[in-house]
Amino acid sequence: MSSTAIPYAGAGDHGHDAHGHHHETFLTKYIFSQDHKMIAKQFLITGIIMAFFAMFLSILFRIQLAWPEKDFPILEVFLGKWAEGGRIRPDFFLSLVTIHGTIMVFFVLTAGLSGTFSNLLIPLQLGARDMASPFMNMLSYWFFFSACVVMISSFFVESGPASAGWTIYPPLSALPQAIPGSGTGMSLWLASMVLFIASQVMGGINYISTVLNMRTKGMSLWRMPLTIWAVFLTAIVGLLSFPVLVSAVVLLIFDRSMGTSFYLSDIIIGGKILPNEGGSPILFQHLFWFLGHPEVYIVLMPALGLTSEVIATNSRKPIFGYHAMVYSLIGITVLSFIVWGHHMFVTGMNPFLGGVFMITTLIIAVPSAVKTFNYLATLWRGNLKFTPAMLFAIGLVSFFISGGLTGIFLGNSALDINLHDTYFVVAHFHLVMGSASICGMLCGVYHWYPKMFGRMMNDKLGYLHFWMTFIGAYLVFFPMHFMGIDGVPRRYYSFTNFPFMQEWLTVNVFITWAAIIAGFGQIAFLFNFFYSIWFGKKATQNPWNSNTLEWTTPVEHLHGNWPGEIPTVYRWPYDYSKPGHDEDFIPQTTPFSETMTSNLPHDFEGDAVAEQIQREWDKEHGIERVVHH
């Protein structure tokens, strides 16, 4: 593209971001929007709806677990034959567990989290008018939306939704005659997932391309906010791992519908011998977990990025160890690809290979711990502002520690023999991945709500929501550790058939009540979210006194983000409470020439001329600067 400097004003198929007076219809503004801010809101609201749906499913199976002998006629009213006589049927219980997991992991914490905040923050925090390809961005949302529709539609087919668990291991998932859920429901699950991956790929390509090509003047990689680092690395992880899931899914579809034997061998079902020979179900597990493990970091890393930003802003302190934060994210990114075997310790893996995976798994604790300590060090002696967003950010740190610790147990291939597929695992990932990430997501919603909707959410409802969620999540998941250590397996329909599990029934009742109460807490959020869109307090331009670029855009959204020129960036995003400055924050757009009282030698990154000017100014004003080395 070197010889193409032909001035061409108004070029491009999507050149309308250049015109403030562009005519928009309801359809192009709210439905088929190509504006990244609107697409972010579409992702968020769809994600919230899916989250409530999946949460409702979890309450349903919690009711079964707590009161297996009781009838709830109301269930039959809206579940029909799946809850005959008011009791959830075993195969439908498995569907509930499966779809709860699928929706939460993929639709809420992947698309709802990454989709919302990558779309919102990449252009706004980097100073771009929009994404690299707004059209592809729009397609990304609509593929996601179709995936949601297909997934939910599986509740309306005769044989019910998929029920082989969110990991859809064959042969269970490959044989329609095995369980009802492996029939049409499974086909819909696979179709939905292909649409979903297409959406993620289109989104991810856009995020990476925008971050690397469309930053404003002065926004070097090392001046990017940690949010951007996180979503950028998340997109890389997604693009490298999602195609592998496609490859696994395609082979599974062939096995299901065409009679190949990639995963199937030696199966007798209902007294009939199947013709499939020579397949390897372990092959599926390898392919699945090559995505599946990076997936948990796809879920977690954006949450870590959002909280880094929120904790620094609300501690009124620079983030502790900015570079260490970035390098630990990079470390997690790389390591996430070489730990997948720890999900397969007990499925017949070579013990030596298991040992290798154990070591890589335990190494991932290092960057994770670096991040944790940096969060705590940022909070340490900070001028803490306990906004709802800040509380959720601290909630993430708490869940990340308490859930991360049990990861060290599970990553050990010897201990995993006992703990595999027990409630200990359920407790572990619901804390470290589920609760931590959802806290990160909610933290992001509360913090960037004024940017998205131009209004503030209600603080009091926010506090109520936080405490119900935070305490509720611990009450729900903490007891599960003990059940798991006692050997109670996950995904079991009823605890009444095994004497050793019966003792845990009372604990199940406790957990279910905690889940129901925490669920009610979410209604406070739902009300707060939708009420504030129309009736919330009007937001000011920079309500949190934050440094990053998105708070320099007008409250009223416009296509192209900034009226006039895009601002230039002069400094990193974490100049909070800098000694010598009259305010406790210095936006990235403030040049050093305007902050002569607070500049430090290392601010100039080795620029000798600037250092000289600063020294002369200091001498002139009689300022003695203490330089720490």
Partner 1 sequence: MVQPKDSYDYLATLKAKKFSLYVFLVVSFMLFAAWSSGFIVYTAGGEDKGLKTLLPHTFIFSTLSILLSSATIHLSYSAAKIGNLAKQKLWLVMTILLGALFFVLQYNAWMELARSGVMFINNNASQSFIYVFVWAHQAHIFAGVIVLLNALFKANNKQPLIKNRFRMELASVFWHFLDILWIYIYVFLLLNQ
Instruction: Give 265 or 412: the residue with its C-beta nearer to partner 1.
Output: 265
Q: Would you tell me which residues interact with partner 1 (CB under 8 A)?
A: 1, 4-12, 15, 17-20, 129, 132-133, 136, 201, 204-206, 208-210, 212-214, 239-244, 246-248, 250-251, 254, 258-262, 275-280, 283, 286-287, 290, 558, 560, 563-565
Closest CA to 543 of 463, 449, 444, 445: 449
- Shortest spacing between CB 411 and partner 1, in angstroms: 23
Q: What's the first-to-final CA gap in the chain, in angstroms? A: 45
Instruction: Give 194 or 370: the residue with its C-beta nearer to partner 1.
Output: 194
C-beta separation of 227 from 308 below 8 A: yes
Instruction: Give 73 or 563: the residue with its C-beta nearer to partner 1.
Output: 563
Instruction: Give 207 or 574: the residue with its C-beta nearer to partner 1.
Output: 207
How far apart (Å, rounded) are the C-alpha atoms in residues 165 and 181?
Answer: 10
Instruction: Give 75 or 249: the residue with its C-beta nearer to partner 1.
Output: 249
C-beta separation of 407 from 428 below 8 A: yes
- Shortest spacing between CB 212 and partner 1, in angstroms: 6
Tokens of 392: 């959720």
- Shortest spacing between CB 132 and partner 1, in angstroms: 4
Torsion (CA) 410, 412, 415, 417 in degrees, nearest 10: 80
- Shortest spacing between CB 175 and partner 1, in angstroms: 16
Helix ranges (H only) for 214-225 are: none
Helix ranges (H only) for 430-504 are: 436-453, 459-485, 499-502
- Shortest spacing between CB 329 and partner 1, in angstroms: 19
C-beta separation of 40 from 452 below 8 A: yes
- Shortest spacing between CB 74 and partner 1, in angstroms: 46
C-beta separation of 524 from 464 below 8 A: yes
CA 85 to chain centre: 38
Which DSSP symbol is given to 268? Answer: E
How far apart (Å, rounded) are the C-alpha atoms in residues 224 and 419?
Answer: 41
How far apart (Å, rounded) are the C-alpha atoms in residues 324 and 368?
Answer: 11
Instruction: Give 87 or 343: the residue with its C-beta nearer to partner 1.
Output: 343
Closest CA to 470 of 368, 559, 402: 402
Instruction: Give 93 or 290: the residue with its C-beta nearer to partner 1.
Output: 290
Three-state secondary structure call for residue 249: helix
Determine how many CB atoms are found less than 10 A away from the CB of residue 101. 19
- Shortest spacing between CB 539 and partner 1, in angstroms: 21
Determine how many CB atoms are found less than 10 A away from the CB of residue 222. 11
- Shortest spacing between CB 581 and partner 1, in angstroms: 31
Closest CA to 559 of 140, 26, 185, 38: 38
Residue 352 to residues 36, 355, 456, 608, 609: CA-CA distances in angstroms? 48, 5, 55, 55, 58
- Shortest spacing between CB 226 and partner 1, in angstroms: 22
- Shortest spacing between CB 133 and partner 1, in angstroms: 6
Residues 6 or more apart whose Cβ sits within 8 Å of residue 206:
131, 132, 133, 136, 137, 140
How far apart (Å, rounded) are the C-alpha atoms in residues 93 and 173?
Answer: 16
* Strand (E) or helix (H) holding 269: strand 268-269
- Shortest spacing between CB 360 and partner 1, in angstroms: 17
- Shortest spacing between CB 284 and partner 1, in angstroms: 9
Instruction: Give 108 or 245: the residue with its C-beta nearer to partner 1.
Output: 245
DSSP β-ladder status, 268-269 and 272-273? antiparallel
